[in-house]
Structure 1
Amino acid sequence: MEQITNTILMVRPVAFRMNEQTAVNNYFQEDLKDEDVNERAQKEFDDFVSKLRKVGVNVIVVDDKPEDDTPDSIFPNNWVSFHQNGNIGLYPMFAVNRRKERRMEYFARLEEEGFKIKNVIDYTGAEEDDVFLEGTGSLLLDRVNRKAYCALSPRADEDLLIEFCEDFEFTPVIFNANQDVDGKRKAIYHTNVMMCLAEDFAVICLESIDNGKERKNVLKHLKEDGKEVIKITEAQMHEFAGNMLQVKGAFDKKYLVMSSRAHKSLTDEQVKNIEKHCEILSSDLDVIETCGGGSARCMMAEVFLPKA
């Protein structure tokens, strides 16, 4: 089993804007009210893809369809996950207008690229019961140690998480993570906003796990698996410093991918701790972060499928 991959699926946006349907519980979103917001997001997307390809990451870019009006299609990791045994997970989405993002033709594209698909395990029927689990936004997968870290929220249901863990053979590590919103503690919408799991380390906002027992349990699991724990503050989390992904470039060189905003928020010591393990690759994603409420990690669906 491998924790990181060289192949990423990314969806180029055509109708990007602040999604009013997700803003109800994604407290990172703001409306720029800017007519050329989609063009600006496309430029950020293209520059980001170019930087990844430059270091040898295999980026498979697929195009969104304008007629579907899917403002969040740039974040495919929420509706799909790809696994080394050839299985694909298909996930139920909280926002109705995000459900159209699930496109089977993308799987055909992966098969054209030489990847082998065995089964699609489909959880999308849970939408009828208003039950959600938004892919690797909700699930932080330790693929080597077979653990699924999950912060419960309106978009991450505990029973469905357990069902996923039974199907894919992961052990659930369940907790609650909150952020300050107008003086109240409210659930963080996705686990991957407050936590990043790399091969030998984890970047995590422990401050967001209010319950001491839950915090200790998460730390126990990370430490027993030999992960160096790099802590970030809640303020840094709001700069998307938890929304990072480790990938492999040419010659298996490792990179921790993040936005420029996340990179700037890190202290010298945090940077030094990350760079002990891998190089940092960052790109300007300001428009995507501001309107979409997601960052670099959300834009990349990791492909672990076997080659045919």
Structure 2
Amino acid sequence: MQQTTNTILMIRPIGFRMNEQTAVNNYYQKVIDNLLPETVNAKAQQEFDAYVEKLRTIGVNVIVVSDTDVSDTPDSIFPNNWVSFHENGNIGLYPMFAENRRLERREDIFNTLEENGFLINNIVDYTSAEEEAVFLEGTGSLLLDRENRKAYCALSPRADEDLVIEFCEDFEFTPVIFTSNQTVDGERKAIYHTNVMMCLGETFAVICLSSIDDKRERENVVSHLKETNKDIIDITEAQVNNFAGNMLQVKGTNDERYLIMSQAAYDSLTKSQIERLEKHTKILSSSLNTIEACGGGSARCMMAEVFLPKA
């Protein structure tokens, strides 16, 4: 089993804006004043295109699919929440908290992957849980250690414990479940996605340990990371607010490892954190200011990793 892949699926936005349906529990979203929706979308497209270009320059195989204007999907730029692709040819389809995000799921994207030579064996579909108002938002909620078969998950309104366990049974992962909080207007509130406060590389983990308020839960997470020999790089809540947890390690040319993050995330890191990361991997950053502000997501959310076998 591999932890990193060379192939990434990305969705180019055509109607990107702040999604009012997700803002209820995504405290990273902001309204950018005095900008028309068209301007916001145009800026997001510029950031997206520059980001894709950077990824391709280092040898990442980026499959870009354009969003459609058939439905209102302001968050389509974050495909990792509705789908996951696995080495055995299976695909996970996930139940989404926001109704307009459910419209992002598109079967034609699977045809595109097959046209690119990937093999799809089976679709494991959890989306009926939406009828019960139960959610699990893909690899936003599930931080997968694919090599060691562990699934880290911070519970939230978008990550249901029973569904995490069901996923782990279906895909043969051990669940590592905890609660992760941030301070919002003086109150501790659940962080909406695990991949905002945590990133798993092959030999390291970036994690905001102070967000796990329960000491036993925190110790349990640390012990699972140590058991798999991960170098634990702790980040602060302020760094989480700059999306320093929202990173993804990928393979470039000649299987060179790169840790992908936004410019804001990179700028928030300390010199010693960067030095520690660079012992494990090269770093690539790209400016995603508009996408981060309006979307409340960053570099990792924009990439759906493709681990499917080649046909």
Superposition TM-score tier, normalisation by shorter sequence: over 0.9
- Tell me what 2:9 maps to: 9
Q: Which amino acid aligns with 2:146?
A: R
- Tell me what 1:18 maps to: 18
Match of 2:220 among 217, 240, 261: 217
CA distance in 2, matches of 1:70, 1:221: 37
Q: Which amino acid aligns with 2:118?
A: F
- Tell me what 1:30 maps to: 30
Which stretch of structure 1 is more off in the superposition, 213-222 or 25-34? 25-34
- Tell me what 2:110 maps to: 107
- Tell me what 1:88 maps to: 91
CA distance in 2, matches of 1:254, 1:287: 27
Q: Which amino acid aligns with 2:72?
A: D
Q: Deviations over 1:41-94 (max 9, x none)?
A: 000000000000000000000000123110000000000000000000000000
Q: Deviations over 1:109-147 (max 9, x none)?
A: 000000000000000000000000000000000000000
- Tell me what 2:308 maps to: 305
Match of 1:183 among 178, 183, 186: 186
The two structures, once aligned, show a CA RMSD in angstroms of 0.4
Q: Is structure 2 residue 128 aligned with structure 1 residue 125?
A: yes
Q: Which amino acid aligns with 2:31?
A: D
Where structure 1 has 5 or more consecutive residues not aligned to the other structure, the ranges are none
CA distance in 1, matches of 2:68, 2:269: 36
CA-CA distance at 1:249 after TM superposition: 0.2
Q: TM-score, normalised by structure 1?
A: 1.00
Structure 2 residue matching 1:89: 3-state secondary structure: strand
CA distance in 1, matches of 2:76, 2:188: 29
Which 4+ residue blocks in structure 1 deviate beyond 6 angstroms? none
Match of 1:143 among 131, 143, 146: 146
CA distance in 1, matches of 2:76, 2:258: 24
Q: Which amino acid aligns with 2:101?
A: R
- Tell me what 2:254 maps to: 251
CA distance in 2, matches of 1:67, 1:86: 29
CA distance in 2, matches of 1:277, 1:87: 30
CA distance in 1, matches of 2:100, 2:10: 19
Structure 2 residue matching 1:23: 3-state secondary structure: coil
CA distance in 2, matches of 1:67, 1:201: 41
- Tell me what 1:163 maps to: 166
Match of 2:79 among 76, 80, 97: 76
Structure 2 residue matching 1:88: 3-state secondary structure: strand
- Tell me what 1:260 maps to: 263
CA-CA distance at 1:248 after TM superposition: 0.2
Structure 2 residue matching 1:173: 3-state secondary structure: strand
CA distance in 1, matches of 2:280, 2:176: 24
Structure 2 residue matching 1:282: 3-state secondary structure: strand
Q: Which amino acid aligns with 1:11?
A: I
Structure 2 residue matching 1:85: 3-state secondary structure: coil
Q: Is structure 2 residue 239 aligned with structure 1 residue 236?
A: yes
Q: Deviations over 1:195-249 (max 9, x none)?
A: 0000000000001000000000000000000000000001000000000000000
CA distance in 1, matches of 2:126, 2:242: 31
CA distance in 2, matches of 1:198, 1:80: 20
Match of 1:192 among 181, 192, 195: 195
CA distance in 2, matches of 1:305, 1:119: 11
Identity across the alignment (%): 72
Structure 2 residue matching 1:101: 3-state secondary structure: coil
- Tell me what 2:57 maps to: 54
Q: TM-score, normalised by structure 2?
A: 0.99
Match of 2:175 among 172, 177, 200: 172
Q: Which amino acid aligns with 1:247?
A: V
CA-CA distance at 1:31 after TM superposition: 1.1
Structure 2 residue matching 1:189: 3-state secondary structure: coil
Aligned residues: 308
CA-CA distance at 1:302 after TM superposition: 0.1
Where structure 2 has 5 or more consecutive residues not aligned to the other structure, the ranges are none
